[in-house]
Amino acid sequence: MNVEFKNINKHFGPVHANVDINLCINSGSIYGILGENGAGKSTLMKVLSGFMQPDSGEILLDGKVVTIDSPADAINYGIGMLHQDPLDFPPMRLIENFIVGQKGGLVPSYKNTIKQFQELQKKFGFSLDPDAYVDTLTVGERQQLEILRLLWMGANALILDEPTTGISSLQKEKLFAALRILANQGKTIIFVSHKLEDVEALCSKVAILRKGILVGELAAPFNSDKLVEMMFGKIISLGERYNLSQEKIVLALNDLYIEQYPLRIENVNFQLRAGEVIGLAGMEGSGQDILLRACVGLIRPISGKVIVKDIDLSNKTYHTYMDNGVSFLPASRLEEGLVPGLNLAEHFTIAGDEKKGLFIDKEYFKEKAEKMIEEYHIIGRPDLNVESLSGGNQQRAALSLLKDSLSIILLEHPTRGLDIESAIYMWGKLKERCQQGTSIFFISGDLEEILQYSDRILVFFSGRVSPPLEASTTTLDQLGQLIGGKGWDQVFDIKEKS
Amino acid sequence: MGNDIILFGLAGVIASGAPIVIAVIGETITERAGVINLSLNGVILLSAMAGFWVAVESDSLFLGFLAGMIVGALVATIVAFSSITLKQSQVAVGFILAITCRDLAYFLGNPIMGAQGPIMLSTSIPFLRDIPILGRLFFQQSLMTYISIIMIVVAWFWIFKTRPGLMLQGIGEKPAAAYVRGANVHKMRYLYTIVGGALVGLAGPLYTLSVKPGWKGTITGLDGIGWIVLAITIFGGWNPVRAAFGAYLFAFLQWLGLVLQPYMTSIPSQVLQVAPFPLMILTLLFVNMGNTEWMDRLIASLPDKLRVRVSKLIRSMQSRQPGGLGIPFDRQ
Amino acid sequence: MNKTRTRSSSVLFQLGGLVFSLLFVSLILILVKSQPLEAFRLIWEGATGNATRISSVFVVWVPLVLVTCGLLATFTAGLWNIGIEGQITVGAIFTTGAIRLFLGSSLSPVLVIIISILVGMIGGAVWAALAGVLKTFGGVNEIFGGLGLNFIATALNIGLIFGAWSRPGVASMSGTEPFPEQFWLPTFQDFRVSLWSIAFAIIGLVIIYFLLQGTHFGLRLKAVGKGMKSAFRMGIPTWQHMMLSFIICGLFAGLAGALQVTAVYHRLIPAISSGYGFMGLMIAMLINYQAIWLAPIALFFAALNIGGIQLPIVLKLDSSLTGVLQGSLVLFVMISQGIKQKFLGKK
């Protein structure tokens, strides 16, 4: 089936998520859609799979204009989508999952279905147990199940959203082999990813999206440097960098072993110096968020130690970490950062260490809120509920809530949603704290931000953690390849030798 | 106490458990679709009164039961509308309806208090009734008791064996995944809430026309049954068979309370009658403990081999609620 | 400007709810071939017709206010304390037990009353804490834990009335032996209402208002209720706060139960909680969990309860009609709010 997008536009409030996308994907090919997080890949795929309707533009299947109203509609047209977070039913058995949604008589015949299922999975070399419960399967196996199900439902075009996240390399090989078989049968495979390595290994053609715009299309064989450049744009310099790290160790991770389904992070040894800034680079879901949370007691390590300023805090609670001067700023602001329904002044009241009498000194905290609103350029009022602030302002509010004297600040995407000027200002604020000896551990999807502000960088790829890289000697290109899983051996072998 | 008396009593347990069984199955179906209908206590009273009233007026048991079902379905429609369409708190709406319907039952039932109404008699099944013990227990019951037993099987079969039943599980578990598979989640949730409500509404008249005949206002003794049904639904782990077991267990304990009364004169009869309630809490505690954080931590601290065994044991005991229970569904 | 418009429109919707519930009840009255206007007039008369009736309204108002105050604490923490009925009952049981204990002692009756009321409050708090423990450590939803505890409290109460504390000779539904008069909370002149009780209610109201509006604790409680995860991240010990909110609610419920015993019935009776707990839940929902409207709405509910007493006497109607009116009022207000949010709220 040939899939064609014509002038697709989609807005979310002020964000233009898809800008006039024109794309033609031929049947029998494996087509890659590449771009960093927020580039508009998912939106485009949700439009194709019936989850969303475009604001304007049309979709053509084999040259015919179609309107896809719902995911069920999409599968009727032969379009099946494999979601990153598998949309299956974990407490049910595999074969039941397979049957749900299938049309047919009142009582499905398990015997027949299992037979058909076995025949189908044999074609791809899968070996799933139809009687197993889905929550006992690995992510890779759940994917296999979902692919089989979509094919059984009659999918001619298959969309895969970041399918290689969290699966083993063996399962990845199986997946790729299956996709190649399907392409040879004339099915259309759309492979959405931000992993260069996978795209290069699998796709015959790739479209690159950046900030909602289709930057260009390339055909195999690909030039990695070119892909990186198209994904991340031109390199712009952001002024001087300065290193404020001291000799004192404030955080030590010793042989840390953490597990958070589906990832497993082993053998992390790392020492964070006072005043130092460490950037955690990696595509979303590569394990950096897990490590960050393990450093603040939100995830218990299975083995190994987390030592904050010579105190062993492994297995201690989050609040103990807070008491020891570790502060955490999560990415999902309204779920785990700010409390929706409370206003800014109330947030400062809760977060503050001062004026802890029985009654709230409302005047004081109102003034404090006003002061911080000005200092952090928050557009809002003390009596405004946080959920009515814009995303960027929520982030600034969250930053302004941090206590004064902290040893370590852990941040997830600290400048996401901020304009460049505010981002630079924000980093100025954070660097001021570094001067006082506070260390910073931060995750960012913005590689330039990582290169610009970190002293050292840890790179994550599918749960693997690199030894620390000196930020000053690392290039954007290198980093882009590393987070895409390429060039690990060369870079780190050289490091280890030297 | 002779064997005959015990047998007679146990047959009575099957009969007096029937309305609870039906109501628990109704609520199980509703919650399987992801909706909590908390109005049960009021619905059972209101349908008991309405069913009895209609039966008195029409002298028809059938119309009485039908009236009860209509009442249950109507109240369920209000729950569905305010929680699914208006996205108001299911708990709040259900609770208000539980109270309001109870008062409405007492108010409207005032004129028919103590009235003489039709009573459903037992219909014994030829041949089967002569089987020793089993015949006495199961085959000399009223029609509705037979229906209640059949319903356990039917509901179990529907939920676990049929195509729409599998989709029902999906809707309650992960509505987004059900939606991708072509289900109209809102429509299905309405449907199952209303069907479940109708079944709960059937339980009411089953009391006033059979198990505890007549309407006696506040002393009819039905206040509280609805809350018990909700607890048994959890105990039953959203499985009709396990839920029915819970219902019979409850009926059995109540009967035991009556039987033991003469032997335990120091304990007031009212206390023995509520004895099943604390037991219910204990079982809920047992069933839920596996979901708590400290239990997780405790299990995590055990050595590997023991850990696997303990967590398996706890997993088999605990009941896992449908993943989407009580959570409104939004496309996208 | 914008704010006043939304506020006035929400008042409009609340009034709409009131009108609908009155219409609904009228419909029911017509259904039973009764005169709606006559019934409403009778309820009004029954509540305000003479000084005795007005004083009776306040007898009901006191426990309603206290119970709802307590519930505001649990609702603020995002908890559905449906076990409130049991907490009232246990409060009453503890108070009765304390008075019985000191009945023959040489302590002054005033001291005995004070101690008994305190003991009652503790009883309510213990019962509430039990629901909290079941929730935090047992994973039992507070609704089901609370309901179960309600049943147990009722059983305990009845067991005592018919068993250990039964009247000499006869155990009956009329309750335990009344206390000697010196252990009664003094009433206002010849009326049923005690000024002390009213004072307790007002003090309770003031305390809960300031606790929730003005203190750090109240704010933290609110944060826990609005977003437990975020509150935890901001450093608030969440389960401890939930537990405390249960205990606060239990103290209020226990006080209500204690006053039912010392100021109203002067003994323990089977239906000592009189359904005030559930009524309090409805009031809390109706006032949208804000203390500011608590007193007048509770007064309205109390007036309906007292006014309803006239229904069976004059019109041969069951007094539960007022319960229907209260319930449908809350329901219609909630539905009209939902409609407002759905169809007007998006802009």
Distance CA C16, CA A128 (A): 59
Chain B residues with CB inside 8 Å of C327's CB?
A: 96-97, 99-100, 103-104
pLDDT value for C167: 84
State mean pLDDT over C226-249.
93
State mean pLDDT over C320-327.
93
Chain C residues with CB inside 8 Å of B268's CB?
A: 158-159, 162-163, 171
Distance CA A347, CA C233 (A): 12
**Interface membership of C147 toward A (CB under 8 Å):** no
pLDDT value for A167: 74
Rounded to a whole number of angstroms, the distance from the CA of B168 to the nearest CA of chain C is: 24
pLDDT value for A242: 66
- The answer to whether the CB atoms of A108 and B162 lie below 8 A apart is yes
Per DSSP (E only), the strands in A331-402 are none
**Residue in A closest to B296 by C-alpha:** A300
**From B161, B173, B182, residue closest to A101, measured CB to CB:** B182
Are C73 and C294 in contact, with CB atoms under 8 Å apart?
Answer: no
Q: Cis link prior to A467 (omega < 30° from 0)?
A: no
Closest CA to C111 of C262, C257, C256: C262
Distance CA C319, CA C305 (A): 8
pLDDT digits 0-9 by tens, B197-212: 999 999 999 999 999 8
- The answer to whether the CB atoms of C148 and B284 lie below 8 A apart is yes
Rounded to a whole number of angstroms, the distance from the CA of B167 to the nearest CA of chain A is: 6
Chain A residues with CB inside 8 Å of B169's CB?
A: 89, 92, 96, 100
Closest CA to A308 of A349, A263, A270: A270
Are C230 and A335 in contact, with CB atoms under 8 Å apart?
Answer: yes
Distance CA C314, CA C244 (A): 47
Residue C346: which pLDDT band, with cuts at 50, 70 and 90? very low
In this predicted structure, the answer to whether residue B304 has a pLDDT above a threshold of 70 is no
The token duo for A138 is: 């690995």
- Interface A–B counts its CB contacts (< 8 A) at 70
**Interface membership of B1 toward C (CB under 8 Å):** no
pLDDT digits 0-9 by tens, B40-63: 999 999 999 999 999 999 999 999
**Interface membership of A412 toward C (CB under 8 Å):** no
Per-residue b/e over A284-319, b at no fewer than 16 CB within 10 Å?
Answer: bbbbbbbbbbbbbbbbbbeebebbbbeeebbebebe
pLDDT value for B331: 65
**From C158, C282, C335, residue closest to B268, measured CB to CB:** C158
- The answer to whether the CB atoms of B289 and C282 lie below 8 A apart is no
Helix axes C238-259, C109-138, angle to 10 degrees: 140
Residue C279: which pLDDT band, with cuts at 50, 70 and 90? very high
**From A46, A70, A100, residue closest to B166, measured CB to CB:** A100
- The answer to whether the CB atoms of B87 and C151 lie below 8 A apart is no
C-alpha torsion A425→A429→A432→A436, nearest 10: -170
| Residues within 8 A of C (CB atoms), B 111-140 only | 111
- The answer to whether the CB atoms of B181 and A107 lie below 8 A apart is no
Q: Which chains touch C (3 or more CB pairs under 8 A)?
A: A, B
**Residue in B closest to A42 by C-alpha:** B332
Rounded to a whole number of angstroms, the distance from the CA of B67 to the nearest CA of chain A is: 29
**Interface membership of C237 toward B (CB under 8 Å):** no
Contacts of A340 (CB under 8 A, 6+ apart): A334, A385, A386, A387, C226, C227, C230
Rounded to a whole number of angstroms, the distance from the CA of A288 to the nearest CA of chain C is: 19
Residue C347: which pLDDT band, with cuts at 50, 70 and 90? very low
Least confident of A347-361, B136-150, B282-296, C93-107: B282-296
Are A28 and A1 in contact, with CB atoms under 8 Å apart?
Answer: no
Rounded to a whole number of angstroms, the distance from the CA of C90 to the nearest CA of chain A is: 30
Chain C residues with CB inside 8 Å of A350's CB?
A: 216, 219-220, 223, 231, 234-236
Chain B residues with CB inside 8 Å of C148's CB?
A: 231, 277-278, 280-281, 284
pLDDT value for A42: 84
- The answer to whether the CB atoms of C328 and B278 lie below 8 A apart is no
Rounded to a whole number of angstroms, the distance from the CA of A86 to the nearest CA of chain C is: 25
| Residues within 8 A of A (CB atoms), B 123-162 only | 161-162
In this predicted structure, the answer to whether residue C2 has a pLDDT above a threshold of 50 is no
State mean pLDDT over C265-275.
92
| Residues within 8 A of C (CB atoms), B 35-94 only | 38, 78, 81-82, 85-88, 91-93
Between β-strands A439-443 and A277-281, what pairing exists: parallel, antiparallel or unpaired? parallel
| β-pair partners for A19 | A213
pLDDT value for A420: 64
**Residue in B closest to C152 by C-alpha:** B278
pLDDT digits 0-9 by tens, B256-300: 877 877 777 767 766 766 666 677 777 777 777 766 767 766 776
Amino acid at A458: L
In this predicted structure, the answer to whether residue C3 has a pLDDT above a threshold of 60 is no
**Residue in C closest to B104 by C-alpha:** C324
Contacts of A23 (CB under 8 A, 6+ apart): A4, A5, A207, A214, A217
- Residue whose token pair is 């070119």: A226
Around Cβ C294, how many Cβ atoms within 10 Å?
26
State mean pLDDT over C55-82.
96
Do you know the residue count of chain B?
332
Phi, psi of B161 (to 5 degrees): -115, -20
Distance CA C58, CA C195 (A): 10
- The answer to whether the CB atoms of A359 and C216 lie below 8 A apart is yes
**Interface membership of C240 toward A (CB under 8 Å):** no
**Interface membership of A297 toward C (CB under 8 Å):** no
Distance CA B222, CA C302 (A): 26
- The answer to whether the CB atoms of C227 and A350 lie below 8 A apart is no
In this predicted structure, the answer to whether residue C201 has a pLDDT above a threshold of 70 is yes
- The answer to whether the CB atoms of A300 and B179 lie below 8 A apart is no
| Residues within 8 A of C (CB atoms), A 382-401 only | 401
**Interface membership of A285 toward C (CB under 8 Å):** no
**Interface membership of B326 toward C (CB under 8 Å):** no
What number is the ipTM of this complex? 0.90
pLDDT value for A15: 73
pLDDT value for A346: 92
Residue B218: which pLDDT band, with cuts at 50, 70 and 90? confident
Which helix (DSSP H) or strand (DSSP E) does residue A336 occupy? Answer: helix A333-336
pTM of the model: 0.88
pLDDT value for C163: 82
pLDDT digits 0-9 by tens, A103-142: 888 899 899 999 999 999 998 888 899 998 888 887 788 8
- The answer to whether the CB atoms of A89 and B173 lie below 8 A apart is yes
Positions of chain A with pLDDT lower than 70, given as ranges: 14, 37-38, 166, 234-242, 261, 391, 417-421, 493-498
pLDDT value for A493: 63
**From C216, C231, C232, residue closest to A356, measured CB to CB:** C216
**Interface membership of B234 toward C (CB under 8 Å):** yes
In this predicted structure, the answer to whether residue C79 has a pLDDT above a threshold of 90 is yes
- The answer to whether the CB atoms of C145 and B99 lie below 8 A apart is no
Rounded to a whole number of angstroms, the distance from the CA of C234 to the nearest CA of chain A is: 6
**Interface membership of C235 toward A (CB under 8 Å):** yes
- The answer to whether the CB atoms of B281 and C145 lie below 8 A apart is yes
**Residue in B closest to A50 by C-alpha:** B180
pLDDT value for C1: 37
Q: Which chains touch A (3 or more CB pairs under 8 A)?
A: B, C
- The answer to whether the CB atoms of B181 and A46 lie below 8 A apart is no
pLDDT value for A497: 45
Chain A residues with CB inside 8 Å of B173's CB?
A: 89-92
